[in-house]
Structure 1
Amino acid sequence: MNITKENIDALNAVVKVDIVAEDYKDKVTEVLNDYRKKANIPGFRKGHVPMGMVKKQYGKSVMIDEVNKLLQESLNKFLVEEKLDILGNPLPIVKDDFSWDTDQFSFEFELGLAPEFDVDLKGKNKIKEYKIVATDELIDKEVENIQTRYGKLIAQEVAEEHSNVTGTFVNEEKGINKKSTFLVNDLKGKKNEKKLIGAKAGDVIELDTKKLFEEDFKLQQVLGVSNEDAKDLDVKVTFTVEEVNKTELAELDQDLFDKLFADGSVKTVTELKDKIKEDAEKQFQQQADQQLLNAVTEHLIENTKFDLPETFLQKWLQTAGEKELTLDEAKEEYTKSEKGLRYQLIEGKIMKDNGINLEYAELLDYAKGFIKAQMAQFGNMNPEEEELNNIAGRVLSNQEEAQRLQTQLLSQKLLGFFKENMKFKSKEVSYEDFIKEVYK
C-alpha cells in the first residue's frame, strides 16, 4: 500500500491511497474461513462447505468490506502521523472509471487544510470593559421591594395608585380568561391608571392591551398569553375587579434583617444596603464578563485575518449533516457558520500557544461547585463529598450536560486569560446605562 499527498495550495491538498491484493487478501481469507465454519447450506455439514462455494457467494462483498476498512484505517493513521490539521473530513473524489472487478485500487481524497496565522492580543483598538455599579436609587428600590415582600396586605374599599388589584381579564375571541394580581402603578400611562383608581370589587373595566404595561413580559404574565402573542397584542379586554389590597411595608428592624440573613450579619439599614450592593454587583459582574467575552470574540474575529478553503468547506457541508444539501444551500450554511468557524480556529490557536487546556479533574470540581450551589438553594449547605462526587459523576456521564459545563468552564478560563493578557478601556456605569449601551 502506498499513500501520498499533493498540495494544491496552502489550504487544499489531495491524498492518494493505492491498495494492492497483498494488502488485504490474508484478511479476506481469514473472514471467508470464518464464514465457512459457520455457514449452513443444505447438502453440506456445518464447517464442510467447499471454499469455492463460499468465495463465489461472499468473496466480492467481503473483499469490498475489507478494502474499505483498510482504506479508512490507513487514511486516518496517515493524517495523524503527518500531523495534518484538517477542516471537516476528507472528501472522496469520485472516478467514473472505478471498478471493483480488479485486485488493485486507487483512491483519492480532497483535504481542506487549516490556515496558519498569528493572533495579536495587543491590538491598538482597546475593547471597552464595563464595571457595573449598584446606584443608590437601585439599592433604595430593592429595599422597598424587600419591605413589600415581607409587608402585610390590608384590604381596601377602593383602589389607589399603589394598590394591588386582583381580578379576571377576559377576551373571548383570543381565548383570554385569566385571574391575575398587579399594582395599579404598574400600568403604563395616566389614562390607564385613572381607569383603575377608585375602582372597587365588582366593577368591570374595559382596557386596551396595547401599551397596557411597560414590559411585554408583564402583559404575558397577567393575560396568560405566549411571549410572541404579547408583543403585538392589540385588543380590548374586560377586567372584573375582585379584590383591592394595599401592602403595608415591613419595618426595617432586626426581625426583618434576621429573616433575610439568618447568620445575624446584618444589624442596621446601612449594613442591609451594603449587602444588597454587594450581591447586586456580583450579579452585574457576570453580565459584564459575558459582554466582555463577546466583545473580545468579535474583536479577534475582525482583527485576525486568514483565508479558509471556502470551496472545499461548501462541498463538505453538502454531505456533513443528516440531510444532503444542494450547493446553494451549502453556500448559505457556510455564510452562517463562517464566523463561528473562524473563532473556533482562533480559540484553538490561543489555547495551543498558551498551554490552556481542560483536565477532567477541573471539570469534575466545576460540576461539584455548580451542584453545591444548587443544593444550597434548597437548604443543604454542607453536602458530603461522596454525595457530590456521585452526583457530579452522573451529570458528566450525560454527554450533552458535560459539553455544556465544559463550554462554561473553558469560557471562564479564556476570559481570565484575556483579562491578564489584553488591555481594556474601563468604564464605570449604572446597570441601566449598561443595558442602554450594550443592548441598544
Structure 2
Amino acid sequence: MNITKEQIDELNAVVKVAVTKEDYFDKVESILKDYRKQANIPGFRKGQVPMGLIKKQYGKAVLVDEVNKLLQDNLNKYLTEEKLDVLGNPIPKQQDNFDWDAENFAFEFELGLAPKFEVDLKTKEALTHYKIVADDKMINEQVERIQKQYGKLISKSEVGKKDEVNGTFTNEAEEIDNKTVVEIEKIKNKKAVDSLLGKKVGDVVTLNTKDLFKEDYLLGSALGIETGKAKELDIEVSFTIEEINEKEPAKLDQELFDKLFGEGKVTSEEELKTRIKEDSEKQFEQQSDQKLLNDITEHFIETIKFDLPTEFLTKWIQTTGETPLTEEEAAEEFEKSEKGLRYQLIEGKIIEANEIQIQFDELKEFAKGFIKQQMAQFGQLDPKEEELDNIAARVLSNQDEVKRLSEQLMSQKLLTLYKEKANLKPKEVTYEDFVKEVYG
C-alpha cells in the first residue's frame, strides 16, 4: 500500500492511497475459506461448497469490507506518523469510474489542516480581574437574614409593618386559589401595604397584582402561577387573612453560633461576621473566576487571527451528520460553530505549549472534592475517606462523568495558568457593584 500527500495550500491537502492486490488478497481468501467451512447451501454438504460459488455469493462484499478496513487503519496510521494536525475527518473524493472488479484500487481523501498560529498569554491589553469583597452592608444584611431565619414566630391580633401574614389569594376568572405567606416588608405597592395594615384574621383584602411585590418572582410564587404569566397580570385578587405572625429575631448567642457552624467554632458576633465575610468571598471568587475565564476566551477569539479551511469544514459538516444537509444548511451550521472551533484550537495550542496534562490520580482527587461539596449541602460535613474513594470510583467508571470532570479540571488548570501569566488588572468591587458592572 502506498500513501502520498498532495499539498493544495496551507489549509488543504489531498491524500492518495494506492491499494494493490497483495495488500488484501490473503486476508480476503482467509475470510472466504472460513465462510466456506460454515456455509449451508442446499445441494452441498457443509464445508464442501465450491469456492467459486462462495466467491460469487460473498466475494465482493468481503473485498469491499476488507479494503475499507485497510484504508481506515492505514490512513489513521499515516496521519499519526506524519503528525498531520487535521480538522474533522478525511472526506473521500467522489470517483465516478471506480471499479471494484479491478485488482488494484486508488482512493483520494480531502484533508482540512489546522492553521499555524501563536498564542501570547501576556496580552497587550490588560484584562480586568475582579476581586469581589463582602462589604459591611452585605454582612449586616446577612446577619439580619440569619436572625430572621432562626427567629421565633409570635402570634399577632392585627397586621403590622414587619409581620408575616398567612392567607389565600383567589381570583375566579384566572383560576387562582393559592395559600401562601406574605411578608409585609416585601410588598412594593404603598396602597397595598396601607390596605393590609391593621387588618385581622378573617378579613378579606382586595389587592392589585401590578407592582405588588418588590421582587417580580414573588408574585408568581404568591399566586401559584408561572413567573412569566404573573409578570403580565394586571388584575385584582382577593387575599383572605388566616394567620398573623411577627418574627422575633434570634439572639446572637452561642446557641445560634453552634447551630450554624458546629460547637465552639464561632464564639462572638465579630467572629460570625468574619466567617460570613470569608464564606461569601469564597463563593464570589467562583463568579469572578468564571468572568475572567469568559473574558480571556472572548479576547483570544477576537485578537488571535488565523484562517480556517472553511470550504472543507462546511463540506464535512454537510456529509458527516446523521441527516445530510444542504450546502446552505451546512454553511449556517459552520457559522454557528466557528467561534467554538477557533477557541478549541487556541485552547489546544495553550495546553500543548504549556504541557498541561491531567493525571488519573488528580482527576480522582478532583472528583472527591466535588463529591465532598455535594455531601456538605446535605449536612454530611465530615465523610470518611473510604466512602469518598468508593463514590469516586463509581463516578469515574462512567465515561460521560470522566469527560465532564476532566473538562472542569482542565478549565481550572487553564485559569491558574492565566492568573500566573496573563496581563491582568486587579479590581476590587462589592458584589452589588460587580453585578451592575458585569450584567448591567
TM-score by length of 2: 0.95
Given the superposition, is the C-alpha separation of residues 355 and 55 from structure 1 closer, same or farther in structure 2, using an over 3 Å criterion? same
Deviation sequence 1:172-230 (CA, Å, 0-9, x none): 45443322213112122323322332333233333343433333332333333335434
The match for 1:374 is: 374
CA distance in 2, matches of 1:232, 1:407: 41
RMSD over aligned CA atoms reads 1.8
Given the superposition, is the C-alpha separation of residues 313 and 192 from structure 1 closer, same or farther in structure 2, using an over 3 Å criterion? farther
The match for 1:110 is: 110
Q: How does 1:131-280 map to 2 (within 5 A)?
A: 131-280=131-280
CA distance in 1, matches of 2:377, 2:198: 41
CA distance in 2, matches of 1:236, 1:401: 50
CA distance in 1, matches of 2:335, 2:116: 21
Q: Which amino acid in 2 is paired with 1:251? A: K
8 A contact 2:86–2:111 mirrored in 1: yes
8 A contact 1:120–1:304 mirrored in 2: no
Please state how far the C-alpha of 1:233 moved relative to its aligned partner: 4.3
The match for 1:397 is: 397
Q: Which amino acid in 1 is paired with 2:204? A: V
How many matched pairs? 440
8 A contact 2:153–2:247 mirrored in 1: yes
Please state how far the C-alpha of 1:24 moved relative to its aligned partner: 0.8
Please state how far the C-alpha of 1:117 moved relative to its aligned partner: 0.4
Q: Which amino acid in 1 is paired with 2:393? A: G
SS in 1 for 2:89: strand
Q: Which amino acid in 1 is paired with 2:396? A: L
Q: How does 1:422-437 map to 2 (within 5 A)?
A: 422-437=422-437
8 A contact 2:163–2:184 mirrored in 1: yes
The match for 1:93 is: 93
Please state how far the C-alpha of 1:170 moved relative to its aligned partner: 3.0
CA distance in 1, matches of 2:195, 2:46: 93
Q: How does 1:303-314 map to 2 (within 5 A)?
A: 303-314=303-314
The match for 2:65 is: 65
Deviates more, 1:49-58 or 1:187-196: 187-196
The match for 1:83 is: 83
Matching of residue 55 in structure 1 with residue 59 in structure 2: no
CA distance in 2, matches of 1:108, 1:229: 59
Given the superposition, is the C-alpha separation of residues 213 and 111 from structure 1 closer, same or farther in structure 2, using an over 3 Å criterion? farther
The match for 1:20 is: 20
Deviation sequence 1:72-130 (CA, Å, 0-9, x none): 11111111111111111111111222232322221111111101100121222100111
CA distance in 2, matches of 1:84, 1:419: 32
8 A contact 2:132–2:285 mirrored in 1: yes
CA distance in 2, matches of 1:222, 1:195: 17
Given the superposition, is the C-alpha separation of residues 190 and 89 from structure 1 closer, same or farther in structure 2, using an over 3 Å criterion? same
Q: How does 1:323-362 map to 2 (within 5 A)?
A: 323-362=323-362
CA distance in 1, matches of 2:232, 2:329: 32
CA distance in 2, matches of 1:222, 1:205: 15
Any unmatched runs of 5+ in structure 2?
Answer: none
Deviation sequence 1:321-350 (CA, Å, 0-9, x none): 333222212212111111111111111101
The match for 1:386 is: 386
CA distance in 1, matches of 2:103, 2:236: 80
Please state how far the C-alpha of 1:240 moved relative to its aligned partner: 2.4
Deviates more, 1:318-327 or 1:405-414: 318-327
The match for 2:293 is: 293
8 A contact 2:167–2:243 mirrored in 1: yes
8 A contact 1:192–1:212 mirrored in 2: yes
Q: Which amino acid in 1 is paired with 2:264? A: G
Q: Which amino acid in 1 is paired with 2:369? A: G
Given the superposition, is the C-alpha separation of residues 154 and 114 from structure 1 closer, same or farther in structure 2, using an over 3 Å criterion? same
Q: Which amino acid in 2 is paired with 1:306? A: F
CA distance in 2, matches of 1:228, 1:14: 55
Given the superposition, is the C-alpha separation of residues 234 and 38 from structure 1 closer, same or farther in structure 2, using an over 3 Å criterion? farther
Q: Which amino acid in 2 is paired with 1:41? A: I
CA distance in 1, matches of 2:365, 2:170: 51
CA distance in 1, matches of 2:301, 2:198: 59
CA distance in 2, matches of 1:375, 1:90: 46
CA distance in 1, matches of 2:105, 2:117: 37
Please state how far the C-alpha of 1:428 moved relative to its aligned partner: 1.0
Please state how far the C-alpha of 1:151 moved relative to its aligned partner: 0.7
Deviates more, 1:228-237 or 1:388-397: 228-237
Q: Which amino acid in 2 is paired with 1:116? A: K
CA distance in 1, matches of 2:227, 2:42: 69
Q: Which amino acid in 1 is paired with 2:80? A: V
Matching of residue 365 in structure 1 with residue 362 in structure 2: no
Please state how far the C-alpha of 1:379 moved relative to its aligned partner: 4.1
Q: Which amino acid in 2 is paired with 1:47? A: G
TM-score by length of 1: 0.95
Deviates more, 1:205-214 or 1:244-253: 205-214
Percent identical among aligned pairs is 60
Any unmatched runs of 5+ in structure 1?
Answer: none
SS in 2 for 1:182: strand
Q: Which amino acid in 2 is paired with 1:127? A: L
Given the superposition, is the C-alpha separation of residues 357 and 233 from structure 1 closer, same or farther in structure 2, using an over 3 Å criterion? farther
SS in 2 for 1:112: strand
Given the superposition, is the C-alpha separation of residues 134 and 67 from structure 1 closer, same or farther in structure 2, using an over 3 Å criterion? same
The match for 2:119 is: 119
CA distance in 1, matches of 2:107, 2:229: 57
CA distance in 2, matches of 1:244, 1:435: 36
Q: Which amino acid in 1 is paired with 2:93? A: I
